[in-house]
Structure 1
Amino acid sequence: MSSSSCFNGGAGWPEPVVRVQAVSDTCGETIPERYVKPPSERPTSSSSQPGPGGNNNDIPVVDMSMPDAAETARAMDAACREWGFFQVVNHGVRPELLRRARASWRGFFRQPASVRERYANSPATYEGYGSRLGTAKGGHLDWGDYYFLHLLPPALKSHHKWPSLPSTLREATEEYGEEVVKLCRRVTRMLSEGLGLDGGRLQAAFGGEGGEGACMRVNFYPRCPQPELTLGVAAHSDPGGLTMLLVDDHVRGLQVRNKDGHWITVDPVPDAFIVNVGDQIQVLSNAAYKSVEHRVTVSAAEERLSLAFFYNPRSDLPVAPMPELGPPLYPEMTFDEYRAHIRRRGLSGKAQLQALQTAARSARAAS
């Protein structure tokens, strides 16, 4: 395995960054120790109890074409309180665009390594082609590569940082981003109404229409000879506001931890988005809506690709529980401050949110 095929040349990371795609191509039947998760975190651990047939269809599906908008808001509200996860169908984003966006990004990950490495990222912004999240040296790694890019605010969007190959990618990604932002705004309005607030309340807390943040992480999980020992993404809740996930149309892998602590495998509805509440909405809703831990398993037989679209509060805007929703369970903090913790440590369940709640409890006790 040549260094040109698998290493980022430094770019601010604490150690050379190995491309999982290259590891998959050369490691034979045994994955390197860095990718082996502790026994309690492996997908075969005793805590993993998928439903019948390896999945659970109880995760709510919300039809956004229902004529009664109040009924749609009630369905989303119930899903966010019970699960923190739901699927949306008839959401208004054309199936043809979903397929074009997925196909374009598959095309990028099939480019020669020399082409992909032109876009190698750094921990300064994470924008570009990457293979790790945390900046701590050593430790376990996830079995996946990714491409991270910004869409909002417009000042952060730089098309020259987006891959130029395949030739369809930039146009498809631009159109996809515009359509998913519109969908996020619709969903945010319904969540506000579900909380008993004015429909624009959550949007205002995000910075108002045009003031919010949006970014996308395209995940690529190569084939893995020992999928029972590793994960494509370790267990975590999403640090941002709202996530719209377009999963692989052939290979399942997303698992959600239910309220009983068991991992279930999501069975995606064709052409649906999987929507999940992020930590910022848990904070803003004062824990009425819960961000939920999820993780990604990998396959020995097939590679897998997904597009995770993150809709976030403006990064420098203070975020705190909305006063209409009772005594605050969390202290005020900007999204920039919040995700700085994630980027230092990498993904670690809901540790950051729990630490914030403890801090707020201690502050109330001391006052």
Structure 2
Amino acid sequence: MSLSKFEPNDDILDFVIKKANGLKGLVDTNLEVIPSQCIQPKEQRLDKSQIDNQESIPTIDLSNFDDLSVEKSIQEAASKWGFFQIINHGIPIEVLDDLKEAGHKFFELPAEEKVKYSTESYSAGESVLMFWSAIGEKDEKVLEWRDTIRHGCNPQNDSNLWPSQTRNQVLEYQKWATPLAKKLLEVLLKGLDVNEIDESLEPLLMGTKAININYYPPCPNPSIAIGIRRHCDVSCITLLLQDDTGGLYVRRTKGDNWIHVNPIKGALAVNIGNSLQIMSNDRYKSIEHCVSVDSNRGRISVPLFLNPSPDSVIGPFPQMLKDGEKLVYKHVLYSDYWDHYFTKRPSGKASLDFAKI
């Protein structure tokens, strides 16, 4: 598929998404100015005057994972920050590097290869691989500056449907990352006086899993675009691998300041999602975050989402109410909450209102 220069009146959804050129293909047309469809409204841009360069999210060393002080550090970070980085987590550095490199290889493919994995919508329990750009819904007015490939990592998923460029690397990463994520969840639940993750709790906390590989192409006008708009994850927890270019920003729990998550070689960022905030009755915080783009380099990030199964009912654990604590959230079917989150595309914390009493 040959690329031509993208003109202002061209159908960007057709070029970027349906034909699977992606934002990467758009940049490869020697784009000098981003299309109007990619210019974010001011409230969605990252205001540099609101960036706090003096603070950073906690970094937690997991060398002694079972130490009580480490467990307490994880629980406190989840309560006060909703975001933290982990080092010495046990995943070999070569597994992480191979995964990032696989992402670059996939997004370098020509459009006629990537279009094989393209689809326009997906559901919470979707078992097939999907490729999309900028979460380009049909009624989306402004596109984010990224391309994404999603790997469903559940028993019903057929990894043979995945691209050869990413299949082995994602499977290897999943092998290491899933038990790590489960142990983190067990520590977090321990802080809520909930027993270990047994057969009844596993579908609720990690009933579905997905590994996305995000690619943020170089952007000619980074100050008016955004890689991912401010949002909170719908997950229980998310583990994020980012490359050494940075670009992830976290909003402070109080105030409007943003904090850059400085990349640490071999580290993973961990954040609480809306589902666990609901289950914890606000003990743990799901925090807004966004991703900036760069004018010189393409960037890779790889989130692993651990979500409830679609038929799970999410709501505060009974342990949250034993001391007369006020109930903040009702119990809702997770698939209903998922549909609300992605259909309405709520910004930031607004998506939690769906589950509030």
Quick check: 1:265 aligned with 2:263?
Answer: no
* Corresponding residue SS for 1:93: coil
CA contact (8 A) 1:72 1:190 kept: no
Hey, what does 2:143 align to over in structure 1? 141
Quick check: 1:88 aligned with 2:90?
Answer: no
Give me the whole-angstrom Cα distance separating, in 1, the residues matched to 2:21 and 2:65: 50
Hey, what does 1:49 align to over in structure 2? 51
- Which of residues 8, 18, 22 in structure 2 aligns to 1:19? 22
Hey, what does 2:246 align to over in structure 1? 252
Give me the whole-angstrom Cα distance separating, in 2, the residues matched to 1:272 and 1:19: 28
CA contact (8 A) 1:135 1:343 kept: no
Name the CA shift for 1:161/1:85 in 2 (closer, same or farther; >3 Å).
Answer: same
* Corresponding residue SS for 1:239: coil
Post-superposition offset of 1:331: 1.4
Give me the whole-angstrom Cα distance separating, in 2, the residues matched to 1:16 and 1:349: 30
Give me the whole-angstrom Cα distance separating, in 2, the residues matched to 1:254 and 1:124: 25
CA contact (8 A) 1:206 1:314 kept: no
CA contact (8 A) 1:8 1:117 kept: no
* Corresponding residue SS for 2:203: coil
Give me the whole-angstrom Cα distance separating, in 2, the residues matched to 1:352 and 1:8: 26
Hey, what does 2:334 align to over in structure 1? 335
Post-superposition offset of 1:132: 3.3
Give me the whole-angstrom Cα distance separating, in 2, the residues matched to 1:298 and 1:200: 38
Superposed, which structure 2 residues align to 1:206-225 within 5 Å?
206-207=202-203, 212-225=207-220
CA contact (8 A) 2:95 2:173 kept: yes
Name the CA shift for 1:253/1:119 in 2 (closer, same or farther; >3 Å).
Answer: same
Letter in 1 for 2:159: H
Quick check: 1:40 aligned with 2:35?
Answer: no
Name the CA shift for 1:94/1:21 in 2 (closer, same or farther; >3 Å).
Answer: same
Name the CA shift for 1:163/1:7 in 2 (closer, same or farther; >3 Å).
Answer: farther
* 1:54-75: CA deviation from partner (whole Å, max 9, x where unpaired): xx33x11111112653222100
Count of aligned pairs between the two proteins: 341
CA contact (8 A) 1:234 1:347 kept: no
Letter in 2 for 1:284: M
Hey, what does 1:179 align to over in structure 2? 176
Q: Which segments of 5 or more consecutive residues in structure 2 lack a partner in the other structure?
A: none
* Corresponding residue SS for 1:207: helix
Q: Which segments of 5 or more consecutive residues in structure 1 lack a partner in the other structure?
A: 361-367
- Which of residues 34, 37, 62 in structure 2 aligns to 1:31? 34
Letter in 1 for 2:265: P
Name the CA shift for 1:143/1:117 in 2 (closer, same or farther; >3 Å).
Answer: same
CA contact (8 A) 2:331 2:355 kept: no
Post-superposition offset of 1:198: 2.3
Letter in 1 for 2:92: R
Query: Which shows bigger deviation, 224-233 or 60-69?
Result: 60-69
Post-superposition offset of 1:27: 5.7
Give me the whole-angstrom Cα distance separating, in 2, the residues matched to 1:160 and 1:67: 35
RMSD: 2.5
Give me the whole-angstrom Cα distance separating, in 2, the residues matched to 1:321 and 1:267: 33
Give me the whole-angstrom Cα distance separating, in 2, the residues matched to 1:68 and 1:150: 30
Hey, what does 1:365 align to over in structure 2? none
Letter in 2 for 1:19: G
Hey, what does 1:197 align to over in structure 2? 194
* 1:196-249: CA deviation from partner (whole Å, max 9, x where unpaired): 332337x8434279x72111111000000110001100000000111000001x
Post-superposition offset of 1:51: 1.0
Hey, what does 1:240 align to over in structure 2? 235
* 1:131-171: CA deviation from partner (whole Å, max 9, x where unpaired): 1326351411100000012102x01x12232112x3xx312
* 1:87-139: CA deviation from partner (whole Å, max 9, x where unpaired): 11111111111111111121111112221111112304473211132635141
Quick check: 1:345 aligned with 2:344?
Answer: yes
Hey, which bits of structure 1, 4+ residues long, moved more than 3 A?
1-4, 6-10, 15-18, 124-127, 203-206
Letter in 2 for 1:212: G
CA contact (8 A) 1:8 1:120 kept: no
Post-superposition offset of 1:3: 10
Letter in 2 for 1:133: I
Hey, what does 1:121 align to over in structure 2? 119
Hey, what does 1:300 align to over in structure 2? 295
Name the CA shift for 1:220/1:345 in 2 (closer, same or farther; >3 Å).
Answer: same
Letter in 1 for 2:78: C
CA contact (8 A) 1:100 1:172 kept: yes
* 1:263-302: CA deviation from partner (whole Å, max 9, x where unpaired): 1111122101100000010011111001000000000010
The TM-score, its normalising length taken from structure 1, stands at 0.86
Name the CA shift for 1:345/1:134 in 2 (closer, same or farther; >3 Å).
Answer: farther
Give me the whole-angstrom Cα distance separating, in 2, the residues matched to 1:82 and 1:343: 27
Identity of aligned residues (%): 28
Letter in 1 for 2:82: G
